[in-house]
């Protein structure tokens, strides 16, 4: 691979090329090296360019054969480990060059008497600039020293934020400087968390889906910016204009125009990924394509389905082959069922009314591409290393450095505003949030799923990365510990992130209790339902959200959605509110039932998506009205005045016909009624005696209700 120029002259300012270089080291024998001052070790310095300073760091090594080798990194220009050649030490004079770069960039300097500093001239082409550098312990050594007392900070966080356990890994340059478990993976039995404990990483999984797609980009199988229909021709959205233009890049940058619509898939373990993608055609957007940033798990499901289309494998097998196997992440898996088969896994917990309680594992198989991966911090550290090192792990280039860089760039502004001065509003790359922490560029992505919280973050310029995985639902401890560790490693003024969060938690818990007490203020007393409870029961359907079933149980209503059963209490009028069930997802969730013109409970409204009006589920007709065995009883002739109406059955559909006219299809409706497909204002209801024998047919239309007697054969 051709090496780009190190310094290009813009006016008279030298600027380093952004291209990455292979790790190498030039070697030259130093004459009588053993007799000269040693320059071995890590150095940090800066070049005095006009109007700015260009920071760099250098590592020198003296080989057993007396030959010096070295490399230089310039963080501002994202240049890492560029090889040094022609390293010479003569007395106090030191010189060396950067290999393979036009203009022969070279340093010529003089060591201080104590050998701790070096100053001189940096020369490239015909330009010269002063430089100064000092011996440094190196960031890895400084990080290890700075983190010496970090266990106490973690313990404070576990106690103050009521978290059972957490596992941490911190990577600096090419080394894992900390990997450790704290607290308990099993709180009841006091089993310690370890660096090998498997925990759910939630939405931190999204970057794995992007990485897998990125390898397909490298192979020429995918173009980020071609319409998705290039690869999935049948793809549809509610907005047909957006469906024609949506690209793979749009699916992984949260700019599809769709809000979350998370309840459409949550806890649904039976629907296929393809069917979930097909349901997108019935989910309303709240914005135009690429107009605003809106977090959307379903778009990541679509990206994962694209992996399946392009590889001919499941998303799991695709990610395993494209990511996990090359990275040596052998215990990382895709389902909580697999985690529980491992010898070292964490149990999930949540906090309820101030107490920590264990919760069931939540299966996310269908939505895997958005958040089903489980891993340990030891294995996740390898994931961090490949991102910090331009797609390279050890000597193997797993993915092109340009593809990795593309993931880390901002592709969509989130529109966020500053909340605290230390952290800028985060924008979105591909599978990563991008922001700045106290002036240091950062990429990161959290994850929250039942009983687990995660944060994976990196400072690419400093080549520092973090993984924090906790076994408590929706805790901010992973991010807080990463901030504290960043302060220590970079030598910033340390802020008590954990202590401040613990105080805020106390205030937040108190506010939540007060809000709970006041919720009944919106309730209208003295009302009752418009129908008996049995009339509300039935099957309801929305094409984007699927089936919702209402039942009568123990003298009250309950509803079942995506296998979650929630008891209901009457709130007011025809509104019912969710009580806390075995699975509390729909606690305080309100269903509003609506009556049609015939007095039937015909539909219900459910607040499935907070950014939209309630989702309307239509009540399904009685299933018997599509059962041929049941429908057969209605077949026959009916006399209306002097006209014979013949009812016939074809398959599971009834038809009505009169002499001299085309037959009309009977469409099942509510209340045992059928509507005429060709004349929607007319409906038919069959009358039966106490023994279930059909005696007559009622034909309702705007002019009145007519009865036709069934004719005996």
The per-residue pLDDT for 318 is 97
Domain boundary among 592, 620, 648: 620
The per-residue pLDDT for 542 is 98
CA distance 255 to 619: 33
Q: Is residue 48 part of a domain?
A: yes
Q: pLDDT band at residue 516, thresholds of 50, 70 and 90? A: confident
Q: 234 with 337, same domain?
A: yes
CA distance 59 to 218: 32
Q: 107 with 166, same domain?
A: no
CB–CB of 284/612 below 8 Å?
yes
Q: 553 with 584, same domain?
A: yes
The per-residue pLDDT for 8 is 36
Q: 193 with 67, same domain?
A: no
From residue 596, give the alpha-carbon distance in Å to each of 538, 599, 684: 15, 5, 16
Local structure of residue 346 (DSSP, 8 states): P
CA distance 522 to 64: 81
Q: Which region among 22-31, 351-360, 387-396, 645-654 has the lowest average model confidence (pLDDT)?
A: 22-31
Which residue is associated with the tokens 């491992």? 342
Q: Give me the chain's average pLDDT, please.
A: 92
Q: Give the structural domain span for 185.
A: 150-509
Pairing mode of beta strands 175-186, 165-172: antiparallel
From residue 167, give the alpha-carbon distance in Å to each of 232, 513, 527, 665: 40, 31, 52, 64
Q: Is residue 615 part of a domain?
A: yes
Q: Between vectors from CA 86 to CA 80 and to CA 91, what angle results, nearest 5°?
A: 115
User: Which carries the bigger pLDDT value, residue 484 or residue 3?
Assistant: 484
Pairing mode of beta strands 175-186, 653-657: unpaired
Instruction: Return the axis-axis angle of helices 150-160 and 497-518, rounded to nearest 10°.
Output: 10
CB–CB of 407/430 below 8 Å?
yes
Q: Is residue 518 part of a domain?
A: no
Taking 90 as the threshold, does the pLDDT of residue 65 lie above it?
Answer: no
Residue 205's φ and ψ, nearest 5 degrees, are -65, -25
pLDDT in tens, 455-502: 999 999 899 999 999 999 999 999 999 999 999 999 999 999 999 999
CB atoms near residue 666 (< 10 Å): 23
Question: What is the Cβ-side half-sphere exposure of residue 163, based on CA atoms within 13 angstroms?
Answer: 35
For residues 228-246, give the mean pLDDT: 98
CA distance 285 to 237: 9
Q: In b/e form, how buried is each residue of 88-107, taking b as 16+ CB within 10 angstroms?
A: bbeeeebebbbbbbebebbb
Start-to-end C-alpha separation, the chain: 91
For residues 646-658, give the mean pLDDT: 96
The CATH number of the domain holding residue 94 is 2.40.128.120
Q: pLDDT band at residue 9, thresholds of 50, 70 and 90? A: very low
For residues 402-418, give the mean pLDDT: 96
User: Which carries the bigger pLDDT value, residue 229 or residue 19?
Assistant: 229
Q: pLDDT band at residue 28, thresholds of 50, 70 and 90? A: very low
User: Which carries the bigger pLDDT value, residue 560 or residue 35?
Assistant: 560
The CATH number of the domain holding residue 326 is 3.40.710.10
Q: pLDDT band at residue 26, thresholds of 50, 70 and 90? A: very low
pLDDT in tens, 545-599: 999 999 998 899 999 999 999 999 999 999 999 999 889 999 999 999 999 988 9
CA distance 342 to 338: 7
Q: 400 with 419, same domain?
A: yes
CA distance 518 to 55: 57
The per-residue pLDDT for 660 is 86
Pairing mode of beta strands 679-688, 673-676: antiparallel
Taking 70 as the threshold, does the pLDDT of residue 238 lie above it?
Answer: yes
User: CB-based burial of residue 284 (10 Å sphere; 0-12 exposed, 13-18 middle, 19+ buried)?
Assistant: middle
CB atoms near residue 402 (< 10 Å): 15
Q: Which two tokens stand for residue 568?
A: 């209901």
Taking 80 as the threshold, does the pLDDT of residue 18 lie above it?
Answer: no
Q: 366 with 341, same domain?
A: yes
Q: 341 with 470, same domain?
A: yes
Using left for φ > 0, alpha for ψ between -120 and 50, and beta otherwise, residue 78 falls in left
Q: Which residues lie below 8 Å from residue 61, measured CB to CB, with a gap of 6+?
A: 25, 40, 68, 69, 70
Local structure of residue 406 (DSSP, 8 states): H
For residues 177-200, give the mean pLDDT: 98
Domain boundary among 67, 102, 136: 136
Taking 50 as the threshold, does the pLDDT of residue 15 lie above it?
Answer: no
CA distance 478 to 206: 18
The per-residue pLDDT for 397 is 95
Q: 74 with 130, same domain?
A: yes
CA distance 386 to 674: 63
Q: Is residue 515 part of a domain?
A: no
Residue 519's φ and ψ, nearest 5 degrees, are -65, -30
CB–CB of 111/118 below 8 Å?
yes
The per-residue pLDDT for 5 is 37
Taking 90 as the threshold, does the pLDDT of residue 661 lie above it?
Answer: no
Taking 60 as the threshold, does the pLDDT of residue 197 lie above it?
Answer: yes
Q: Is residue 685 part of a domain?
A: yes
The per-residue pLDDT for 22 is 32
The CATH number of the domain holding residue 595 is 2.40.128.50
Q: 38 with 96, same domain?
A: yes
Taking 50 as the threshold, does the pLDDT of residue 401 lie above it?
Answer: yes
Q: pLDDT band at residue 76, thresholds of 50, 70 and 90? A: confident
Q: Is residue 527 part of a domain?
A: no
Q: Which region among 455-459, 520-524, 610-614 has the lowest average model confidence (pLDDT)?
A: 520-524
What's the domain count of the chain? 4
Question: What is the Cβ-side half-sphere exposure of residue 418, based on CA atoms within 13 angstroms?
Answer: 8
pLDDT in tens, 111-154: 999 899 999 999 998 899 999 999 988 889 899 999 999 999 99
CA distance 670 to 619: 8
Taking 90 as the threshold, does the pLDDT of residue 163 lie above it?
Answer: yes
From residue 499, give the alpha-carbon distance in Å to each of 297, 423, 472: 33, 18, 18
Q: Is residue 1 part of a domain?
A: no
Q: 394 with 328, same domain?
A: yes
CB–CB of 261/609 below 8 Å?
yes
Domain boundary among 450, 476, 509: 509
Q: Which of 403, 356, 51 is nearest to 216 (CA)?
A: 403
Q: Is residue 523 part of a domain?
A: no
pLDDT in tens, 275-302: 999 999 999 999 999 999 999 999 999 9
CA distance 36 to 88: 10
Taking 60 as the threshold, does the pLDDT of residue 35 lie above it?
Answer: no
The per-residue pLDDT for 712 is 85
The per-residue pLDDT for 458 is 98
CB–CB of 468/446 below 8 Å?
no
CB–CB of 670/598 below 8 Å?
yes
Q: 578 with 638, same domain?
A: no
Residues above pLDDT 90, as percent of the chain: 81
CB–CB of 444/456 below 8 Å?
yes
CB–CB of 139/173 below 8 Å?
yes
The per-residue pLDDT for 36 is 63
Local structure of residue 522 (DSSP, 8 states): G
Q: pLDDT band at residue 77, thresholds of 50, 70 and 90? A: confident
Q: What is the enclosing helix (H) or strand (E) of 519?
A: none
Q: Which of 203, 202, 177, 205 is nearest to 464 (CA)?
A: 177
The per-residue pLDDT for 20 is 34
Taking 80 as the threshold, does the pLDDT of residue 73 lie above it?
Answer: yes
Q: 558 with 414, same domain?
A: no
């Amino acid at each position: 691979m051709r090496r780009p120029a190190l310094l290009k002259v813009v006016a008279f300012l030298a600027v380093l090329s952004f291209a990455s270089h292979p790790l190498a080291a030039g070697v030259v024998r130093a004459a009588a090296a053993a007799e000269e001052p040693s320059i071995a070790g890590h150095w940090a310095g800066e070049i005095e360019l006009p109007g700015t300073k260009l920071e760099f760091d250098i590592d020198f090594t003296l080989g057993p054969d007396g030959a010096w080798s070295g490399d230089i990194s310039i963080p501002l220009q994202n240049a890492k480990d560029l090889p040094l050649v022609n390293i010479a030490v003569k007395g106090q004079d030191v010189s060396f060059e950067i290999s393979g770069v036009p203009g022969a960039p070279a340093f010529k300097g003089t060591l201080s008497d104590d050998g701790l500093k070096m100053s001189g001239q940096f020369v490239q082409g015909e330009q010269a600039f002063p430089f100064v550098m000092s011996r440094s312990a190196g960031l890895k050594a400084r990080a290890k020293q700075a983190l010496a007392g970090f266990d106490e900070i973690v313990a404070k966080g576990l106690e103050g934020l009521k978290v059972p356990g957490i596992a941490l890994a911190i990577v600096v340059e090419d080394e894992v400087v900390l990997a450790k478990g704290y607290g308990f993976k099993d709180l009841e039995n006091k089993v310690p968390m370890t660096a090998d404990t498997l925990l759910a990483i939630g939405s931190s999984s999204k970057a794995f889906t992007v990485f897998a797609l990125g390898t397909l980009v490298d192979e020429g199988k995918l173009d980020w910016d071609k319409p998705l229909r290039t690869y999935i021709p049948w793809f549809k959205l509610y907005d047909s204009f957006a469906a024609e233009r949506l690209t793979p890049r749009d699916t992984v940058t949260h700019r599809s125009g769709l809000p979350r619509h998370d309840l459409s898939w949550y806890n649904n373990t039976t629907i296929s990924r393809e069917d979930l993608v097909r349901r997108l055609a019935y989910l309303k957007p709240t914005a135009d394509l690429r107009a605003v940033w809106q977090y959307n798990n379903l778009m990541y499901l679509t990206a994962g389905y694209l992996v399946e289309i392009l590889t001919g494998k499941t998303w799991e097998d695709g990610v395993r082959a494209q990511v996990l196997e090359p990275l040596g992440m052998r215990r990382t898996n895709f389902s909580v069922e697999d985690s529980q088969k491992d010898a070292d896994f964490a149990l999930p917990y949540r906090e309820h009314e101030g107490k920590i309680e264990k919760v069931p594992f939540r299966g996310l198989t269908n939505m895997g591409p958005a958040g089903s991966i489980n891993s340990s911090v030891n294995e996740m550290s390898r994931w961090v290393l490949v991102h910090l090192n331009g797609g390279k792990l050890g000597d193997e280039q797993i993915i092109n450095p340009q593809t990795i860089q593309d993931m880390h760039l901002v592709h969509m502004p989130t529109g966020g505003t500053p909340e605290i001065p230390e952290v800028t509003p985060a924008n979105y790359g591909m599978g990563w949030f991008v922001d700045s922490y106290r002036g240091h560029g950062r990429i990161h992505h959290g994850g929250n799923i039942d009983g687990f919280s995660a944060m994976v973050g990196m400072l690419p310029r400093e080549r520092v990365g973090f993984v924090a995985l906790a076994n408590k639902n929706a805790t901010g401890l992973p991010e807080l510990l990463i901030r504290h560790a960043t302060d220590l490693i970079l030598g910033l003024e340390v802020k008590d992130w954990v202590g401040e969060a613990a105080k805020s938690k106390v205030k937040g818990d108190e506010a939540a209790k007060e809000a709970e007490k006041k919720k009944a203020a919106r309730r209208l007393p003295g009302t009752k339902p418009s129908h008996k409870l049995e009339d509300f029961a039935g099957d309801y359907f929305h094409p984007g959200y699927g089936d919702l079933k209402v039942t009568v149980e123990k003298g009250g209503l309950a509803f079942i959605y995506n296998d979650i059963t929630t008891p209901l209490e009457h709130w007011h009028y025809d509104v019912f509110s969710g009580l806390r069930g075995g699975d509390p997802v729909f606690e305080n969730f309100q269903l509003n039932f609506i009556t049609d013109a015939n007095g039937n409970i015909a539909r219900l409204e459910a607040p499935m998506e907070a950014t939209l009006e309630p989702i309307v589920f239509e009540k399904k007709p009685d299933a018997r009205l599509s059962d041929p065995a049941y429908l057969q009883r209605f077949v026959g002739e009916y006399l209306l005045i002097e006209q014979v109406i013949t009812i016939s059955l074809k398959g599971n559909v009834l038809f009505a016909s009169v002499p001299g006219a085309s037959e009309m299809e009977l469409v099942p409706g509510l209340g045992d009624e059928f509507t005429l497909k060709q004349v929607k204002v007319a409906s038919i209801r069959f009358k039966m005696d106490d023994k279930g024998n059909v005696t007559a047919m009622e034909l309702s239309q705007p002019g009145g209700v007519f009865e036709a007697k069934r004719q005996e054969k």
